[in-house]
Amino acid sequence: MFESCWTAEVRILKKCMYMFADITDETICTSCPSGYFQCKNCRCIPSSWRCDGDKDCGLDDTSDEDNRHLCGQCSGFRCECGRCIPQRWLCDGVPDCSDNSDEIQCEGKDYCDLDPDNHFRCTASGRCIILKWKCDGEFDCGAGDQSDEEGCSNS
């Protein structure tokens, strides 16, 4: 039965398992066993599937991803879909959130705006470079801009 669903991605496999599973006994459940999360539709899913960015309760039930603020702390950026990604992935031109929320409203922003503690804005060119390139002995700001090497102590 699952042969038609085989894929290397666990997320797809989980969805296939849901599509082909007999859930008649789960839709009338009163409580889930230990280690399981009870969806609003009474379906029981493994607790590890909660807050993983995938809606595992079914097509019309998003309760395993609802209330993302209850899904644990996110030290980076919390996608609208619930996934937590590192701050450095925000506005990098690569959509890391399935809903693209890490790339929305990024026009005009770069790492110097989003992570100023680890980046340097070149004075003349306005280019944003990583901080470790400042005072490294190489001009990284572009033609005519040597601001990344100004004020550096030569040792």
pLDDT at 149: 95
143 and 95 in one domain? Answer: no
Average pLDDT, the chain: 75
- 97 found inside a domain: yes
Taking the C-alpha atoms of residue 122 and residue 71, their distance in angstroms, rounded to an integer, is: 39
9 and 66 in one domain? Answer: yes
Mean pLDDT of 117-131: 86
Does the structure show a pLDDT above 80 at 80?
no
Domain range for 93: 73-107
44 and 28 in one domain? Answer: yes
10 and 41 in one domain? Answer: yes
Percent of the chain having pLDDT more than 90?
12
pLDDT at 102: 84
Mean pLDDT of 27-41: 76
Q: Is the pTM of this model over 0.85?
A: no
pLDDT at 67: 66
Mean pLDDT of 113-131: 84
Taking the C-alpha atoms of residue 44 and residue 49, their distance in angstroms, rounded to an integer, is: 10
pLDDT at 68: 57
The distance of Cα 117 from the centroid of its chain, to the nearest Å, equals 21
Does the structure show a pLDDT above 80 at 30?
no
**Structure-token pair, residue 89:** 């992935």
53 and 10 in one domain? Answer: yes
49 and 7 in one domain? Answer: yes
Mean pLDDT of 47-75: 76
Number of folded domains that form the chain: 3
Please report which confidence band the pLDDT of residue 55 belongs to, taking 50, 70 and 90 as the band edges. confident
Q: Got the DSSP string for 54-119? A: S--S-TT--TTTS-GGGS---SSEE-TTS-EE-GGGTTSSS--STT-TTTTT-TT--HHHH-GGGE
53 and 16 in one domain? Answer: yes
